[in-house]
Structure 1
Amino acid sequence: MTNHDEKPSGSRKFLFRALDVIEWVGNKLPSPLLLFTLLAFIVILSSAVFSGASVTNPTSGETIAVNNLFTIEGLQYIFQNAVDNFIGFAPLGAVLVTMLGIGLAEQTGLVHASLKGTVFSVPSKLLTAALVFAGAMSSIAVNAGYVVLPPLGAALFLGLGRHPLAGLTAAFAGVSGGFGANLFLTSTDAILAELTADAAATIDEAYAETIAVSMNWFFAAASIVLVTVVGTWVTNKIVEPRLGKYEGDNAEEEMDALSQQEKKGLLYAGISFLVTALVMVYLSFGPLRGDGNYLESPFFDSLVFVIFILFFVPGLIYGITTKVIQNDKDLTQFLGKTMASMSGYIALAFTAGQFIAYFGETNMGTVIAINGAEFLSNTGFDGFGLIIVFILITMGINFFIGSSSAKWVILAPVFVPIMMNLGYSPEFTTVIYRLSDSVTNIITPLLLYFPMIIAFAQRYDKKIGIGTLISMMIPYSVAFLVSWVVLLFVWMLLGIPVGPGADIYY
């Protein structure tokens, strides 16, 4: 897949060769659909091998044992839950519902016209940074950024005559690698703050009551700058030069200027988007506000449907204005084409859903995570040494448990008390966890949205495999890790609070 325009020299030559090896090895693996099928069988066999292994949950004191699926009961579970595992695959519903809205905007020509307007009005040098920045900021909409930004980034880069996969990876790096950064508070802040407070209460109940949702706000806001700068540099200096010139089927397409009809369509679509957005704002503070925390309101629980509406309405208005949609049959046909384009992802979701469900049912991920936490507590490290080990263990566990909150449920009761006893605050411990969790999200196939990113990439290169995607994302992962650790230690040396009233030291 790699197609270098020119031979790199020096350190980049060595880096490109290393990434080529990773890509080659990774692409020797079966197709993602078959790979998840094989992984599902491996999980079943592994559950039999490690049956009987158990750990004690540090939160509840409950004994958790590896559940053997290679039994009659396990076979019954596999058959009885096959459909539920498919339907319950977390990204499936979100992806399909969101893509109905995005697909209509794409089918009617709204996306293409919007991209043309962007290409002709925004300096191209700023687009990479804007894409990475938007990806990192998208965590305010929970996981919606995974669905919306990578395909739009690819289309935008293609419109500029750049490699579409570079746009896709830049957006993916921002969304996933930058998940721990944001200028605003998100639902993740609320969840992690609650878990951190529960863990801190085992040492100091009074202090635990002072832990706020904004506990990591300062560091997260500064991290937005880091993620944007580093992600842009990696895209422009490593990923895109390595990819070379794009030579796909639509590589020669040129963007002409917007026609009068397109301009009129964009005007009415823009007005409809603004009106729809204002309605959504009203709903978020009105009927969908709820009685509790705003970040846990019915509105935030409905963000997938909100995004669907925000794309669907302007797409519909654009189609009607440009006379692409003249009746209900045209609308139905466009929506059908969108779902047809997702058929490969739907098939992939079936096998991935089985694998994820089996892995969760066996409890192997939980056993691995708790053992990793116990290993850290027994290392005898303190200070910087402990922080580095903490980061490495969290990064490793991230390959087995993708959910940020699920990992912190297990790790917080171990890490937070240890760090408090060493003089580090629970808020600072959470910062370390969040950056460690973010940097390996983009290189683990167990990330729930990883198969979807591959499906998006295959629109531009049908032969792309897991190895290709991982080889493109590793430079981001390494660069984020190194720069974030440097920022963390500088933060410590300067003694800057990680959030309002949240000092580094306990």
Structure 2
Amino acid sequence: MRMSAMQASDPTPSARQKGFLGVVERLGNLLPEPVMIFVWLILGLMVLSALGQALGWSASITYSGDEAPQFGELENGVLTYAASSLFSEANLARLFTEMPKTLTNFAPLGLVLVVILGAAVAERSGLFSALIRASLREAPKAILTPLVVLIGMVSHHASDAAYVVFIPLAGLLFAAVGRHPLAGIAAGFAAVSGGFAGNLTPGQFDVVLFGFTQEAARIIDPTWTMNPLGNWWYILAIVFVFTPIAWFLTDRVIEPRLGVWGGQADDSLKAELAKSAVTAEEKRGLKLAGLAALAVVALFAALTLIPGFTPLIDETKTGPAQLTPFYSALIAGFMLLFLSCGVAFGVGVGTVRSDKDVVIMMADGVRSVAPYIVFAFFAAHFVAMFNWSRLGPIAAIHGAEALKAMNLPAPMLLVSVLGFSSVLDLFIGSASAKWSALAPVVVPMFMLLGISPEMTTAAYRMGDSFTNLMTPLMSYFPLVLAMTRRWDNSMGVGSLLALMLPYALAFMVAGVAMTLAWVAFDWPLGPGAQVHYTPPGGLLK
């Protein structure tokens, strides 16, 4: 697809660094890279731990178990955590002798690496791109907008392809039917970025976030295990709530404001649209990918439902606990799904001709997450050192006591997490970086207040989504700006922000209302995931 407008220059710094948005941009530019943020956090944590030990910081809570969790001291039914200096002999020894173990035991890293092995094949074989084009090109004009929004939210599974392929294609399709292409780009951008928390099915992002959630939840409950489906109903509801909102705003607010598009579907535009058509080979590849997906589903169904042979069901347990092996196996399930579908599609279109091609795609995928591995090294040590210092449970216990004294209802507590993550999103774009820093405090704190890790994660991801449309510091913002300039050279940072602000504000109001309603009605967040948390026997109460 031709992207000549991507070569357009950005507005000068003096032109775009004015007003409130200019302040946001300047403040954000002062922040270091996420890796360096964690370096400074670790240094600050070390100093704070030494101060905490010197001042005798501690926290206690009643405990019904026979053995104290790691780093806690149990006496007469009271579990106490006392601050421990990270400069102590024991902690310094642990830091250097366990450095490889600290990294390899970091749950999010292993989860990401496993899933990326399959996702890389699906992306590099051309499957994701073909799926996006096949689902959008033949969209009827009457329902073009809702289809763009719906497919945009589903395309999160396609990672970069959602921005690079989907958004410009949405603009092109709007132009092809005589509608303003900027309205198509706006609807696509709103779905892909502002609706980042929503999707029809869980995927890679759920695995990454719940990896950090698991690390944090085990500060309180060492047996807590992540469930990748723990937000499924919640993210599905986001799709059904945000889609009509974006539909109304695009057709009734954004497009009328843009005015009548002066262009027309000339031969060059039709030729470009033709380039995005799904070829006969790709159609054959998609059919093979569909069969591969059914095979993976059948495999997991067999391992779960065959009488007398249920490796993914713990028959020694009762109730939802029986499904714990199944939830844990979903990481492998995602990898197998992406891998098998990617290979099947690649065989159909000729991008996979031998096993060497698959191995090369996997290796390329691992190379693409090299920056994440660097980030994970420092994030892993921050989380581990937070536990070694005992400041995590101390902060969680005292924070929970303070919030309990304020007598705030659970919905308001979760809205506070949502709001805090949305403010941070204006300055720090990486969702995983923010959550890795916030989770060790807010997850255990809210568990002590009876709010489940799944619900806290859901509130965070909601707040992290809609502000993507309100900050020029979002990594794909310059790319989307370049896409708009293909159709209107006068578009600047402020123009794009003004275009997207109605979506962001509407999504924010809907997101807060949805989170409040979820807690008020105590709806399940996903299979086996509830709003409230009740510690099992032997854990903190």
Q: Structure 2: which amino acid aligns with 1:296?
A: L
Q: Using a 3 Å threshold, how does the CA distance of structure 1 residues 486 and 159 change in structure 2: closer, same or farther?
A: closer
Matching of residue 160 in structure 1 with residue 177 in structure 2: no
Structure with bigger gyration radius: 2
| Kept after mapping to 2: 8 A contact 1:44/1:69 | yes
Deviation at 1:71, TM superposition (A): 2.2
The counterpart of 2:373, out of the listed 326, 331, 346, is 346
Query: Tell me, which stretches of 5 or more residues in structure 2 are unaligned?
Result: 1-5, 12-17, 65-77, 172-184, 222-230, 258-271, 425-433, 468-472, 481-496, 525-529, 533-541
| Kept after mapping to 1: 8 A contact 2:134/2:278 | yes
Give deviations 1:268-301, integer Å, cap 9, x for gaps: 2222222332333332333344124377332211
| Kept after mapping to 1: 8 A contact 2:393/2:444 | no
Q: Structure 2: which amino acid aligns with 1:90?
A: A
Measure the CA separation in 1 of the matches of 2:123 and 2:28: 32
Instruction: Identify the residue that residue 84 of structure 2 maps to in structure 1.
Output: 67
Q: Which moved more, 1:286-295 or 1:297-306?
A: 286-295
Measure the CA separation in 2 of the matches of 1:72 and 1:127: 60
Measure the CA separation in 1 of the matches of 2:106 and 2:22: 32
Instruction: Identify the residue that residue 261 of structure 1 maps to in structure 2.
Output: 281
Q: Using a 3 Å threshold, how does the CA distance of structure 1 residues 374 and 403 change in structure 2: closer, same or farther?
A: same
| Kept after mapping to 1: 8 A contact 2:411/2:516 | no
Instruction: Identify the residue that residue 375 of structure 1 maps to in structure 2.
Output: 402
Instruction: Identify the residue that residue 99 of structure 1 maps to in structure 2.
Output: 116
Q: Using a 3 Å threshold, how does the CA distance of structure 1 residues 435 and 318 change in structure 2: closer, same or farther?
A: closer
Measure the CA separation in 1 of the matches of 2:461 and 2:20: 23
Q: Using a 3 Å threshold, how does the CA distance of structure 1 residues 111 and 359 change in structure 2: closer, same or farther?
A: same
SS in 1 for 2:137: helix
Query: RMSD across aligned C-alpha pairs, in angstroms?
Result: 5.3
| Kept after mapping to 2: 8 A contact 1:269/1:317 | yes
Instruction: Identify the residue that residue 34 of structure 2 maps to in structure 1.
Output: 32
Q: Structure 1: which amino acid aligns with 2:162?
A: G
| Kept after mapping to 2: 8 A contact 1:269/1:315 | yes
| Kept after mapping to 2: 8 A contact 1:149/1:171 | no
| Kept after mapping to 1: 8 A contact 2:399/2:445 | no
Measure the CA separation in 2 of the matches of 1:259 and 1:168: 25
Instruction: Identify the residue that residue 330 of structure 1 maps to in structure 2.
Output: 357
Give deviations 1:422-465, integer Å, cap 9, x for gaps: xxxxxxx9999687555445599xxxxxxxx98x859969xxxx
| Kept after mapping to 1: 8 A contact 2:466/2:508 | no
Measure the CA separation in 1 of the matches of 2:237 and 2:505: 19
| Kept after mapping to 2: 8 A contact 1:174/1:231 | no
Give deviations 1:218-251, integer Å, cap 9, x for gaps: 999877644555688899989xx9xxxxxxxxxx
Deviation at 1:99, TM superposition (A): 1.3
Q: Using a 3 Å threshold, how does the CA distance of structure 1 residues 80 and 342 change in structure 2: closer, same or farther?
A: same
Deviation at 1:306, TM superposition (A): 0.5
Q: Using a 3 Å threshold, how does the CA distance of structure 1 residues 298 and 80 change in structure 2: closer, same or farther?
A: same
Measure the CA separation in 2 of the matches of 1:262 and 1:476: 34
| Kept after mapping to 2: 8 A contact 1:110/1:318 | yes
Measure the CA separation in 2 of the matches of 1:403 and 1:377: 20
Measure the CA separation in 1 of the matches of 2:159 and 2:435: 24
The 5 Å alignment of 1:437-476 reads 439-440=462-463
| Kept after mapping to 2: 8 A contact 1:108/1:325 | yes
Deviation at 1:62, TM superposition (A): 1.0
The counterpart of 2:107, out of the listed 81, 85, 90, is 90
Measure the CA separation in 1 of the matches of 2:130 and 2:465: 30
Matching of residue 392 in structure 1 with residue 416 in structure 2: yes
Deviation at 1:319, TM superposition (A): 1.8
Q: Using a 3 Å threshold, how does the CA distance of structure 1 residues 477 and 321 change in structure 2: closer, same or farther?
A: closer
Instruction: Identify the residue that residue 58 of structure 2 maps to in structure 1.
Output: 54
Measure the CA separation in 1 of the matches of 2:465 and 2:327: 24
Instruction: Identify the residue that residue 303 of structure 1 maps to in structure 2.
Output: 330
Deviation at 1:307, TM superposition (A): 0.8
Deviation at 1:310, TM superposition (A): 0.8
Q: Which moved more, 1:430-439 or 1:80-89?
A: 430-439
| Kept after mapping to 1: 8 A contact 2:303/2:311 | yes
Give deviations 1:93-147, integer Å, cap 9, x for gaps: 1212111111112222222222221221346412454257659xxxxxxxxx8xx
Deviation at 1:157, TM superposition (A): 2.4
Matching of residue 173 in structure 1 with residue 183 in structure 2: no
Instruction: Identify the residue that residue 209 of structure 1 maps to in structure 2.
Output: none
Deviation at 1:175, TM superposition (A): 6.4
Q: Structure 2: which amino acid aligns with 1:392?
A: S
Deviation at 1:389, TM superposition (A): 6.1
Instruction: Identify the residue that residue 247 of structure 1 maps to in structure 2.
Output: none
Give deviations 1:357-407, integer Å, cap 9, x for gaps: 22233232322222222223333x578xx8646753796699788788995
Measure the CA separation in 1 of the matches of 2:381 and 2:242: 34
Q: Using a 3 Å threshold, how does the CA distance of structure 1 residues 235 and 20 change in structure 2: closer, same or farther?
A: farther
SS in 2 for 1:62: strand
Q: Sequence identity, in percent?
A: 24
Measure the CA separation in 2 of the matches of 1:348 and 1:31: 10
Q: State how many pairs are aligned.
A: 406
Instruction: Identify the residue that residue 305 of structure 2 maps to in structure 1.
Output: 285
Q: Using a 3 Å threshold, how does the CA distance of structure 1 residues 377 and 387 change in structure 2: closer, same or farther?
A: same
Measure the CA separation in 2 of the matches of 1:317 and 1:430: 37
| Kept after mapping to 2: 8 A contact 1:440/1:477 | no
Q: Structure 1: which amino acid aligns with 2:285?
A: G
Measure the CA separation in 1 of the matches of 2:87 and 2:299: 52
Measure the CA separation in 1 of the matches of 2:386 and 2:135: 43
Instruction: Identify the residue that residue 539 of structure 2 maps to in structure 1.
Output: none
Instruction: Identify the residue that residue 112 of structure 1 maps to in structure 2.
Output: 129
Measure the CA separation in 1 of the matches of 2:138 and 2:336: 26
Measure the CA separation in 1 of the matches of 2:514 and 2:354: 56
Measure the CA separation in 1 of the matches of 2:357 and 2:23: 47
Measure the CA separation in 2 of the matches of 1:491 and 1:313: 36
Measure the CA separation in 1 of the matches of 2:248 and 2:105: 38
SS in 1 for 2:197: helix
Q: Structure 1: which amino acid aligns with 2:297?
A: A
Measure the CA separation in 1 of the matches of 2:301 and 2:387: 37
SS in 2 for 1:174: coil
